[in-house]
């Protein structure tokens, strides 16, 4: 079975089952195991001098371990079935769509409940958000996480099979934990942040292209490229710019981290700045239409 055929099965399995609570209440999720490994390395090696070198060496060792695990699994009896299951577990379409939709449902009850729901999927401060800010946060999370939680894992699975998928998820997990420019992690997490940027460079732009094409090219591609450049991230701006154009809403903009308000520019600044729950629902629809395009592309590759 080709990687493309396995990916088709994995995408369908993830869409059908998502992340069953009964299973992960009993077993540690692979991403949790990766997080534990990164956390242990952070506690053990993020001390003293040469932290950037230590962080780079640790990331290299963890990536080598992830790749080796993928190669070993590929040699097991029934490996193609195992690969499908592991790939489905490490894709996040169903979980992402459910979490984003939950923000819309909560926001319809009250802004406070909407803030509580969006706090589960974003890292910014949420306590002072109004309705439109809560909406923007949910939609931005939908766009960015579709890129690094669905398209990027699928891309690296197609390119390098299970070893490629496991290495990507390890790096993405490490970036989410230590890839911040804080006094503790600026040096030790440098390699994780840079490698994550590298691995997401193509998938982020591919995600934007898929969203843009599936939704009828709602803005010139030059506008997507321009708006992507307004984002502080070299990659996250691409899917957000495409999502903003598809929904005709302004995204990003000012927000607070650790009690400090930061004046980030708006992406698609001429879009609606008073978005609400209906726009979140529309972003979930964008996710599923784009997922369907990814599934169709994978199926074409499988029969080519």
3-state secondary structure 18-42: CCCHHHHCCCCCHHHHHHHHHHHHH
- Our measurement of the distance from residue 276's CA atom to the centroid of its chain's CA atoms, rounded to an integer in Å, reads 22
Residue 260 has pLDDT above 80, yes or no: no
**What pLDDT does residue 1 have?**
63
More reliable by pLDDT, 164 or 18: 164
Query: What is the DSSP code string of 32-93?
Result: HHHHHHHHHHHHHHSSSS-HHHHHHHHHHHHHHHHHHHHHHHHTSTTHHHHHHHHHHHH--H
| Burial (CB count <10 Å: 0-12, 13-18, 19+), residue 30 | middle
Model confidence at 148, pLDDT cuts 50, 70, 90, reads very high
Q: What percent of the chain has pLDDT over 90?
A: 85
Report, as an integer, the average pLDDT of 107-129. Answer: 92
DSSP codes joined into one string, 273-301: SS--HHHHHHHHHHHHHHHHHHHHHHHHH
For all residues of the chain together, what is the average pLDDT? 94
pTM assigned to the model: 0.95
> With 80 as the cut, is the pLDDT of residue 256 above it?
no
Return the ∠ at Cα 247 (arms to 244 and 252), rounded to 5°. 30
The C-alpha atoms of residue 182 and residue 290 are separated, in whole angstroms, by 35
- Residue 110: C-alpha distances to residues 7, 274, 285 (Å): 39, 16, 22
């Amino acid at each position: 079975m080709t990687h493309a055929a396995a990916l088709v099965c994995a995408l369908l399995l993830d869409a059908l089952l998502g992340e069953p609570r009964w299973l992960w209440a009993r077993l540690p999720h692979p991403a949790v195991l990766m997080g534990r490994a990164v956390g242990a390395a952070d506690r053990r090696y993020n001390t003293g001098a040469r932290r950037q070198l230590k962080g780079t060496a640790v990331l290299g060792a963890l990536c080598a371990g992830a790749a080796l695990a993928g190669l070993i699994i590929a040699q097991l009896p029934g490996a193609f079935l195992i690969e499908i299951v592991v790939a489905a577990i490490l894709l996040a379409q169903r979980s992402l769509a459910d979490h984003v939709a939950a923000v819309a449902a909560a926001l319809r009850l009250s802004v406070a409940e909407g803030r509580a729901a969006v706090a589960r999927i974003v890292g910014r401060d949420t306590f002072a958000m109004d309705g439109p800010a809560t909406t923007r946060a949910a939609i931005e999370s939908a766009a960015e996480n579709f890129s690094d939680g669905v398209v990027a894992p699928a891309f690296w699975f197609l390119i390098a099979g299970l070893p490629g998928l496991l290495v990507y998820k390890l790096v993405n997990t490490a970036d989410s934990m230590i890839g911040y420019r804080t006094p503790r992690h600026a040096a030790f997490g440098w390699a994780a942040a840079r490698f994550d940027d590298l691995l997401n460079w193509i998938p982020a732009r591919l995600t934007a292209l898929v969203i843009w094409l599936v939704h009828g090219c709602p803005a010139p591609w030059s506008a997507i490229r321009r708006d992507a450049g307004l984002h502080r991230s070299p990659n996250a701006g691409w899917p957000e710019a495409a999502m903003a154009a598809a929904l005709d809403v302004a995204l990003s903009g000012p927000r607070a981290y650790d009690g400090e308000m930061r004046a980030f520019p708006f992406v698609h600044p001429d879009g609606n700045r008073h978005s609400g729950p209906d726009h979140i629902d529309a972003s979930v629809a964008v996710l599923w239409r784009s997922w369907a395009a990814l599934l169709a592309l994978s199926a074409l590759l499988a029969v080519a």
